[in-house]
Chain A
Amino acid sequence: NAGVMQNPRHLVRRRGQEARLRCSPMKGHSHVYWYRQLPEEGLKFMVYLQKENIIDESGMPKERFSAEFPKEGPSILRIQQVVRGDSAAYFCASSPGNQETQYFGPGTRLLVL
Chain B
Amino acid sequence: DAKTTQPPSMDCAEGRAANLPCNHSTISGNEYVYWYRQIHSQGPQYIIHGLKNNETNEMASLIITEDRKSSTLILPHATLRDTAVYYCIVPDMDSNYQLIWGAGTKLIIKP
Spell out A's residues near B (CB within 8 Å). 4, 6, 33, 35, 42-45, 48, 55-56, 58-59, 91, 93, 95, 98-107
Q: Assuming A42-B104, A107-B43, is B99 touching A99 (CB within 8 A)?
A: no
Interface string of B79-91 (1 = CB under 8 A from A): 0000000010001
- A105 and chain B: residue at smallest CB distance: B43
User: Chain B residues with Cβ under 8 A from A93's Cβ?
Assistant: 44, 99
Contact in complex: A101, B34 (CB < 8 Å): yes
Chain B residues touching A, range: 20 to 34
Interface of B is mostly: loop
Contact in complex: B102, A104 (CB < 8 Å): no
The smallest beta-carbon distance between B103 and chain A, in angstroms, is 6
User: Chain A residues with Cβ under 8 A from B87's Cβ?
Assistant: 42
Contact in complex: B99, A45 (CB < 8 Å): yes
User: Chain B residues with Cβ under 8 A from A102's Cβ?
Assistant: 46, 97, 99
Contact in complex: A43, B101 (CB < 8 Å): yes
User: Chain A residues with Cβ under 8 A from B103's Cβ?
Assistant: 42
